[in-house]
Amino acid sequence: MAVTLRARAVLPMHGPPLDGGWVRIKGGRVVAVGRRRAAGPTIDLGDVLLLPGLVNPHTHLEFSKIPKPVPPQPPGGLAGWIPAAVAARRHAARDETAQAILSGLQESAAAGVTLLGEIATADPALSYPTHGVPRLRVFRECLGLGERRIEQSLASLRRSLDRLPASSAGISPHAPYSVKASLAATLVKLAAKQGLPVVVHLAESREEQDLIEQGTGAFRDLLESIGAWPSPPPQLLSAADWVSLACRAPRAAFVHASFLDRPTFDRLVRHRDRAAVIVCPRTALLISGRIAPVRELLAAGIHVALGTDGRGSAPDLSPLREAQALIDRGLASPQEALKMMTTSAAWAIGCERIAGRIACGRPADLVVLRPAEHSTDTYADALAPSTQVVMTLRSGRPIHPA
Ligand SMILES: [Zn+2]
């Protein structure tokens, strides 16, 4: 049976807000969208806004039990953050990965999220629930600079991909400082062959550039200290070459991009039909003190999406809070920020056919927001700090409140 949900406004995200709008749901899918009079059984949700479920395109849910962001040790820089975060995760969630992931998914549902792009370091099929929580596209992380590590990484990736349906799988070559050029090529070839999207952490820190350009610096010290720097030194790809390579996959998202140089920016522009940049403002500020050049990327026609990253570097898993960080700094309008966590975020992880907008035939993945403010800008009302997430629906059923 069909049911119609009516709201103060519906924000379909592929057209203007519909004041007095409604969405009709049948069999878990959207079957009609309109405004004013609706036929059939109608639930009036009252003074709320109805939006597509938010998409958080970049998380590390394994970190979800870390109570607050881990500061880099020593202060300043990614090379100091990585060992501190790994130690905190070990301490907070030893043998509790599945529990941390579930907790992160529940927190995401409460934040209005219905789809996540998740980075997994262990076999995803073992720890990710599939019902009663947001949908997932799980990117299996791979890294390796020495031959033994590379072999292990590839074997475990193949096991993971055998168990995951292609519609919810992806590959994440970790970062330019942790993936040898030959492994990068193998991973992207595999992604292209299987039609999978890729996600790469890119240009996150200055130290990354030092290592790639000179083979020295804080990352070299870190990698040597953990026995991960082989002899002879591995061939690494520049950020620009990563963009060209990864864009051989059907979709490639580059996370952070805080320290983009001109050649890398130009490659992103050239490949903008496949490339997206995922910005995680609060993480970028904590770790490197710098957010990607969002205005320039948007002006160049590049898809920019908004993610939270994991709880090792962000205080919560709320895309709405990330958007406020971006808006406060004048880097996005409320309308742009909402696009970054709906349509652009879905596109960044290759899920644009099922998520990111309210349209007929799509799963009824929706979020109901109650704004305290009533201005002429509905997008601004949706993103005001006082706005509350009332309900999150997946296929028309509430996943929050549970
Ligand atoms: Zn990340």
Q: Tens of pLDDT along 315-356?
A: 999 999 999 999 999 999 999 999 999 999 999 999 999 999
One domain, residues 160 and 291: yes
Q: Cα of 172 to ligand 1 centre, how many Å?
A: 10
Q: Cα of 310 to ligand 1 centre, how many Å?
A: 7
One domain, residues 8 and 125: no
One domain, residues 192 and 307: yes
One domain, residues 203 and 247: yes
Q: Cα of 57 to ligand 1 centre, how many Å?
A: 10
Q: Tens of pLDDT along 61-105?
A: 998 988 888 888 776 678 888 888 877 776 655 568 889 999 999
Structural domain of residue 362, as residue ranges?
Answer: 3-52+357-400
Q: Which positions ≥6 away from 334 have C-beta within 8 Å?
A: 323, 327, 377, 379, 380, 382, 383
Q: Cα of 308 to ligand 1 centre, how many Å?
A: 9
Q: Cα of 36 to ligand 1 centre, how many Å?
A: 43
Q: Cα of 81 to ligand 1 centre, how many Å?
A: 12
Q: Tens of pLDDT along 4-47?
A: 999 999 999 999 999 999 999 999 999 999 998 887 899 999 99
Q: Cα of 276 to ligand 1 centre, how many Å?
A: 15
One domain, residues 290 and 315: yes
Q: Cα of 9 to ligand 1 centre, how many Å?
A: 34
pTM for this model (two decimals): 0.96
Q: Cα of 399 to ligand 1 centre, how many Å?
A: 25
CATH of the domain at 230: 3.20.20.140
Q: Tens of pLDDT along 179-200?
A: 999 999 999 999 999 999 999 9
Q: Which positions ≥6 away from 133 have C-beta within 8 Å?
A: 102, 105, 106, 108, 109, 394, 399
- How many domains does the chain divide into? 2
Q: Cα of 396 to ligand 1 centre, how many Å?
A: 30
> How does the average pLDDT of the chain come out, rounded?
94
One domain, residues 35 and 75: no
CATH of the domain at 17: 2.30.40.10
> What pLDDT does residue 285 have?
94
> What pLDDT does residue 186 have?
98
Q: Tens of pLDDT along 129-183?
A: 989 999 999 999 999 999 999 999 999 999 999 988 889 999 999 999 999 999 9
One domain, residues 64 and 122: yes
One domain, residues 86 and 30: no
Contact between residue 171 and residue 140 where contact means Cβ atoms under 8 Å apart? yes
> What pLDDT does residue 85 have?
81
One domain, residues 47 and 71: no
> What pLDDT does residue 40 have?
86
